[in-house]
Structure 1
Amino acid sequence: MQNRCNELDLSNLPVGIIDYGMGNLRSVENVLVTLGCRVERLLSAPSHTDFLAIVLPGVGAFGDCMKSLRNKGFLAFLEHWISRDLPFLGICLGYQILFEQSMESEGCEGLGIFEGRVVRFIEGKEKIPHIGWNSVQIAKKSSYLEDIVTGDYFYFVHSYYPDVLQKEIILLHTDYCGVNFSSAIAKGNLLATQFHPEKSHKKGIQLLSNFLNRAKMYWLLEKKVAK
């Protein structure tokens, strides 16, 4: 794959949103445009890496998502992008498929970027799916969390969540159904959230802004090194 980051004008570098046919991407696009981004929908895997960041949103079933990504040729692109620690944001299902497998689709392998399995909330007093606003607890300091504090609320829609084994990547926790689950992870230039930042009003926009600022800083440093 070609990369010309040292030749590119960052102000014109698009954010690529992977469109694999599952979920409404419009809300993600609208927020990114509001934040000043040029957005490009990717209907198939690109042959280059000239993007400010890649965003993988999504709702639906784990197995259907992996099948669609495979059929559209996205798997190799995603593995290449993430393995190089290029700016990546996974949202909801785009967070879950970073792990090895899911109870939702037994026998279907995820991307396996991180160790762990996606599991379902156990039926109890609280309703499943987990729909609506819930608060987060900060697990570690990060530039992704500028102006975000423990107790801030984000919007969730899910029945499954990753049981994260690599505790050092956990960014945020949330309580639901008697479980303190990992509602966001971060490693290097990768950020992934179980909640929907694009639907989380002020704090969601803040998180997306923090992600974009970090992505811009990454490419600026890359350009300096490449000179």
Structure 2
Amino acid sequence: MPTVHLLDYVAGNIRSLVNAIEKLGYEVDWVRSPEDVAKAEKLILPGVGHFGHCMSQLAQANYLPAIKAHIDSGKPFMGICVGLQTLFEGSIEDPDVPGLGVIHSTLGRFDETDKSVPHIGWNSAITGGRPLYDLSPDSKYYYVHSYREAYTPGKLESQGWSVATGTYGNETFVGAVAKGNMYATQFHPEKSGVAGLRTLRAFLTGEGAKSLQSNPQPLTDVPFKDGLTRRVIACLDVRTNDQGDLVVTKGDQYDVREKGDDRNVRNLGKPVEMAKRYYEEGADEVTFLNITSFRDCPLADLPMLEILRQTSRTVFVPLTIGGGIRDTVDTDGTKVTALEIATMYFKSGADKVSIGSDAVLAAEEYYSLGKKLFGNTAIEQISKAYGNQAVVVSVDPKRVYDGTNSGFDLELIEQVKGAIAIPVIASSGAGNPGHFEEVFQKTRTDAALGAGMFHRGEYTVQQVKDYLQSKGLEARQAGEGLDS
């Protein structure tokens, strides 16, 4: 089996990238030292989070000279997300930390006056019809970043780089670059469904490099318009039933037991199978909510970890896990931090963690201490290690919409959206495709989540997306198979 070397410096969910590489018929060799880089034929540098943290980690481990030598040797190199950003001279995210300087420019930050920042979701990678690692103008790719290289026609092309662009709001940015032996994406191919697997395959096989233009031209003939789609998320409430099996359930206003005399836990299916089905239907993200994790330490919840591992082998869109992510005490009396629990979930295949009650306590403390931050909350610790895009805050409002199928709480969603600059996911109340259209038309929400209507087979994710499309709202389509 052919191999590719992967440099892991604790860059978030590396498991998904490994699964994607293995699905494409390649084996991963781990880079554990600078000496291993010299042995690599193909090298991938993934990354999420903070530019300065990434560069500092690589510098402290003495990887930077080895990475530069690999690139200079002409052997294949791929950077993903922050891995792309390392190629630049620097970033205003951390102006004192230099990048590799392969691309002569400095990264800036998205303007949040007219849109949410970070940029999270499915957007385009437009090449202007020029071949670039099997990227397609009809496909969407998963981005999650606050810092970007604003696209100026001719700026990177004059340095020999072929460029693909995305547009978010009124800003067009660099979504991917390629030159000689180098290919780098701002989006995550391992989280971009079949379209992402195709571009990753083009790197692994070497076919992408063969088709590059020797004299790349600026993208002056491309219409730059916002390519961000409306995200539809499938949420699975997971808990142990009375027989000891982990099942997907759904409450009637939070009551997950049947109304008959036996009062059994409502069993709507097996988590791994249902997650795969939603992925194939076109879900833009899959969320697991471990609704009984508060009873025990998640470190001992081996079945839930195995569900994440199995799901990430076949589901190539973002996976979020919530439930029990807080500082706690293990059954043997050992103190376990929220960061340790999050790290365990990331290693098992999660891309984001959702924090509920602990986030409320953190907010209360923030205001009681005069709006001061001390870096000791779960939100701050996990964000520092994995980037703020890795943390989702889940809020249950007093008004109960969950399980009612009567539509989203539009007033509350718009109030929250008006108070913050980060992305908002509408949750609780979805009962039909019209509710998704309504929340996207009447609020500024960035995504909307459904559960019971999907679990019970009343509607599919694809039906929701088709309905949105019919109403003029852009939604990502699942697309065909890898080899079609």
Smaller-chain TM-score bracket: 0.7 to 0.9
Of 73, 77, 96, 1:107 maps to: 96
In structure 2, runs of 5+ residues without a counterpart are 211-484
Match of 2:149, as an amino acid? P
Of 75, 81, 84, 1:92 maps to: 81
Distance 2:68 2:84 in 1: 14
1:60 Cα offset (Å): 1.2
1:166 counterpart residue number: 156
Match of 1:115, as an amino acid? H
The TM-score normalised by the length of structure 1 is 0.84
Structure 1 runs (4+) deviating above 4 angstroms are 215-218
Please say if residues 23 and 59 of structure 1, whose CA atoms lie closer than 8 Å, have aligned partners that are also in contact.
Answer: yes
Distance 1:202 1:171 in 2: 21
| SS of residue in 1 equivalent to 2:149 | strand
Please say if residues 97 and 110 of structure 1, whose CA atoms lie closer than 8 Å, have aligned partners that are also in contact.
Answer: yes
1:223 counterpart residue number: none
Work out whether 1:150 is the aligned partner of 2:137. Answer: yes
1:46 Cα offset (Å): 2.2
1:195 counterpart residue number: 187
Write the deviation string for residues 104-135 of structure 1: whole angstroms up to 9, x where unpaired: 00121000011011110011222110111112
| SS of residue in 1 equivalent to 2:93 | helix
1:180 counterpart residue number: 172
2:206 counterpart residue number: 214
User: Which is higher, the Rg of structure 1 or of structure 2?
Assistant: 2
| SS of residue in 1 equivalent to 2:133 | helix
Aligned CA distance change for structure 1 residues 48 and 134 (closer, same or farther; 3 Å): closer
Work out whether 1:79 is the aligned partner of 2:52. Answer: no
Please say if residues 20 and 190 of structure 2, whose CA atoms lie closer than 8 Å, have aligned partners that are also in contact.
Answer: yes
Work out whether 1:40 is the aligned partner of 2:32. Answer: no
Distance 2:132 2:111 in 1: 33
Please say if residues 140 and 171 of structure 1, whose CA atoms lie closer than 8 Å, have aligned partners that are also in contact.
Answer: no
Write the deviation string for residues 6-37 of structure 1: whole angstroms up to 9, x where unpaired: xxxxx44x211111123221111110011111
Distance 1:48 1:111 in 2: 16
Q: Between Structure 1 and Structure 2, which shows a larger proportion of strand residues?
A: 1
Write the deviation string for residues 159-190 of structure 1: whole angstroms up to 9, x where unpaired: 01124632241331100131111100000121
In structure 1, runs of 5+ residues without a counterpart are 1-10, 219-227
Please say if residues 139 and 170 of structure 1, whose CA atoms lie closer than 8 Å, have aligned partners that are also in contact.
Answer: no
Please say if residues 31 and 37 of structure 2, whose CA atoms lie closer than 8 Å, have aligned partners that are also in contact.
Answer: no
How well do the aligned residues superpose, as a CA RMSD in angstroms?
2.0
Match of 2:139, as an amino acid? D
Deviates more, 1:38-47 or 1:69-78: 38-47
Distance 1:125 1:41 in 2: 42
Aligned residues: 205
Aligned CA distance change for structure 1 residues 154 and 143 (closer, same or farther; 3 Å): closer
1:73 Cα offset (Å): 1.5
1:142 Cα offset (Å): 3.1
Of 135, 156, 162, 2:124 maps to: 135
Please say if residues 92 and 193 of structure 1, whose CA atoms lie closer than 8 Å, have aligned partners that are also in contact.
Answer: yes
Match of 2:14, as an amino acid? L
1:143 Cα offset (Å): 5.5
Distance 1:140 1:170 in 2: 12
Deviates more, 1:191-200 or 1:34-43: 34-43
Distance 2:38 2:140 in 1: 34
| SS of residue in 2 equivalent to 1:111 | coil
1:7 counterpart residue number: none
1:28 counterpart residue number: 17
Distance 1:15 1:39 in 2: 5
Distance 1:62 1:127 in 2: 20
Q: Percent identity between the aligned chains?
A: 37
Please say if residues 86 and 100 of structure 2, whose CA atoms lie closer than 8 Å, have aligned partners that are also in contact.
Answer: yes
Distance 2:140 2:209 in 1: 27
Please say if residues 137 and 151 of structure 1, whose CA atoms lie closer than 8 Å, have aligned partners that are also in contact.
Answer: no
Distance 1:128 1:78 in 2: 31
Match of 1:91, as an amino acid? I
Please say if residues 189 and 215 of structure 1, whose CA atoms lie closer than 8 Å, have aligned partners that are also in contact.
Answer: no
Please say if residues 170 and 182 of structure 1, whose CA atoms lie closer than 8 Å, have aligned partners that are also in contact.
Answer: no
Distance 1:172 1:152 in 2: 13
Match of 1:68, as an amino acid? Q
Match of 2:193, as an amino acid? H
